[in-house]
Amino acid sequence: MSNQGVPSSEPAEKPVLVKAVSISKRFGEVLANDSVDLTIREGEIHALLGENGAGKSTLVKILYGALEQTAGDIVWRGQSVKIPNPAAARSLGVGMVFQHFSLFEALTVADNIALALPKDTDLSNLPERIVAVSQKYGLPLDPFSTVADLPVGVRQRIEIVRCLLQEPSLLIMDEPTSVLTPQEADELFKTLERLAAEGCAILYISHRLEEVKRICQRATIMRHGKVVNECDPRLETPATLARMMVGADVHAIKSNSEITTGNPLITLRNLCLPAENAFAVELKNIDLEVFAGEVVGIAGIAANGQSELFDAISGERRIEDVHAVNLLGVPVGKKKINHRRKLGAAFVPEERLGHGAVPGFRLSDNVMLTRFSTEPSLLLRGILKRGNAAEMEQRIKVNYDVRMTHDNPEARSLSGGNLQKFVVGRELDRKPRVMVINQPTWGVDAGAAALIRQALIDLARTGAAVLVISQDLDEIYEVSDRIAVISRGQLSAPEPAETMTRERIGMLMAGMGEKHDNNTDKGQKHAAGA
């Protein structure tokens, strides 16, 4: 674990752009950063690695002026600087793309970008400039659309273009690819490499070690608020990087090959759902069967109908044709979500904060919200049994390794990955017979992602039907027995994971499977998954 001090393989060391010198940040009792040192050179793509809660976000927020360090110095191009606020950071040349986007939903793309530009900027030609920059870096954007109507992938582009318009010399990216498809991520990497070639340094936070290895020249690894290692990720393997982050080996997911398939527990028959607004996706004639004992993965590029499909299965949106959605043998098209839960179904939506959990509620109350209808122990003639909810919360915390600074905190105080573990754990803890989950490991570190994926597979092997909707292809391959692809509201027929190549998925994502033949023999394809 010693500092390896690998000499950079670049022909000549580039000049140092920014240096953080023994930065410490204390939140009450917690030391989120403990004498952290970080050196970033011009034109370098520098990875910042660490598990959830390792202190990465705190460190970058200090660099961006959104937080003030308790102790330590920041040296910018050789000069000690104070960064009291984000405006100061921006005028130095620091841009940041946040993990939880800092966008204004009610405003247009152009308005959102205007807000981040210096006060004296001429805004009259802003839409043209947005289009020019977005074309130059391959980030298509319509300046006049309203953010609320845009999918996450596009929202991220807004954040990136917003930074690029200020011609930053340091661009901080907090888990940029966690919401992107492989193709979108490839585009992003091209953008980043182009920026780096132009001399812009990039501080890149990611949990995806493959991509760190692929695009970064340096990596700083943090654990429990301290820098534990520095390396050249190109000389490491994802396994060695993961070991540095976690401090122990991350165990590989094993898909127990013994699949005993049973009855179809999720059946979608000719499911159609009109688009809610001009920007939403219409679901067209979706057919799908998920059998007891298997995991079916739905791959697809962002905003191709994934959330609409999830809403239709979970009951957030009702379907006129009651037989279009059938859970555990019961037609539920018009039934409410709690009715579906009582049948034994569990749902984990994509947005964990605000959708999967109420931010201002304690975890035990969040347990109460999704489970009072199915757990008789939580509700006695309309009176809440708080003690039992707290017990469940404790059990989830232990079983799913949810880390918190104090007991039973508000949901919003958990870091993204920990909250995801909690939200998934809350549903898995019910031992549901049907599990539908959208983006199970968005923004979750390698260790926690492995835990969640393993739990999903294990659940299926106990005889549940698990439907995983994800934009992360590696994840789809890791957990799925069969894979289907959603594209513009249409779903391809699922195919066994072993025979589904990445090329084929790519073609299906591009719309190849849209004119699907309804007579594909699903049972046969399914049998091949065993």
Partner 1 sequence: MGALEPILLTIITASTPLLLAAMGELITERSGVLNLGVEGMMIVGAVMGFSITAMTGNPYMGVIASMFAGMMMALLFGFLTLNLMTNQVATGLALTILGLGLSGMLGEGFIGQPGIKLPVLHIPGLSEIPFLGTVLLSQDILVYISLALVAAVYYFLFKTRAGLVVRAVGDNHSSAHALGYSVLKVRYLAVLFGGACSGLAGGYLSLVYTPQWVEGMTAGRGWIALALVVFASWRPLRLLVGAYLFGAVSVLQFHAQAAGIGLPSQFMSALPYLATIVVLVIISRNLVVTRANTPACLGRPFSPDR
Query: From the list 13, 105, 128, 210, which residue makes contact with partner 1 (rule: CB under 8 A)?
Result: 105
Nearer to partner 1, 163 or 368 (CB): 163
Residues numbered 180 to 199 that lie near partner 1 (CB under 8 A) are: none
Q: By CB under 8 A, is residue 58 in contact with partner 1?
A: no
Cβ contact 281:303 at 8 Å: yes
Listed in sequence order, the residues at least 6 apart from 108 whose beta carbon sits closer than 8 Å to its beta carbon are 143, 144, 145, 146, 147
* Number of residues in the chain: 530
Q: Helix/strand/coil (H, E, C) string of 376-444?
A: HHHEECCEECHHHHHHHHHHHHHHCCCCCCCCCCEHHHCCHHHHHHHHHHHHHCCCCCEEEEECCCCCC
Nearer to partner 1, 176 or 425 (CB): 176
Q: Helix/strand/coil (H, E, C) string of 481-521?
A: CEEEEEECCEECCCEECCCCCHHHHHHHHCCHHHCCCCCCC
Q: By CB under 8 A, is residue 82 in contact with partner 1?
A: no
Query: From the list 1, 6, 115, 275, which residue makes contact with partner 1 (rule: CB under 8 A)?
Result: 115
CB of 149 to partner 1, least distance (A): 8
d(CA 520, CA 530): 18
Listed in sequence order, the residues at least 6 apart from 316 whose beta carbon sits closer than 8 Å to its beta carbon are 310, 337, 349
CB of 311 to partner 1, least distance (A): 17
Cβ contact 99:75 at 8 Å: no
Using the contact rule CB under 8 A, the part of the chain among 73-81, 115-123, 170-178, 489-497 near partner 1 is 115-123
Nearer to partner 1, 35 or 146 (CB): 146
CB of 125 to partner 1, least distance (A): 15
* C-alpha closest to that of 461 among 254, 155, 223, 249: 254
Using the contact rule CB under 8 A, the part of the chain among 15-23, 84-92, 258-266, 451-459 near partner 1 is 84-92
Q: By CB under 8 A, is residue 98 in contact with partner 1?
A: yes
d(CA 211, CA 202): 14
Interface map 120-149 toward partner 1 (x if CB under 8 A):
---x----------------------x-x-
d(CA 289, CA 522): 8
Q: By CB under 8 A, is residue 116 in contact with partner 1?
A: yes
# chain residues binding partner 1, by CB under 8 A: 26
Q: By CB under 8 A, is residue 277 in contact with partner 1?
A: yes
**Burial of 180 from C-beta contacts in 10 A (0-12 / 13-18 / 19+):** buried
Strand order in the sheet with 79-81: 30-41, 16-27, 71-76, 79-81
Q: By CB under 8 A, is residue 165 in contact with partner 1?
A: no
Query: From the list 6, 30, 71, 106, which residue makes contact with partner 1 (rule: CB under 8 A)?
Result: 106
CB of 99 to partner 1, least distance (A): 12
Q: By CB under 8 A, is residue 66 in contact with partner 1?
A: yes
Query: From the list 35, 37, 77, 86, which residue makes contact with partner 1 (rule: CB under 8 A)?
Result: 86
Q: Is 286 helix (H, G, I), strand (E, B) or coil?
A: strand
Nearer to partner 1, 130 or 473 (CB): 130
Q: By CB under 8 A, is residue 405 in contact with partner 1?
A: no
- Binding residues (CB under 8 A) for partner 1: these are 65-68, 85-88, 90, 98, 101-107, 111, 114-116, 119, 123, 146, 148, 277
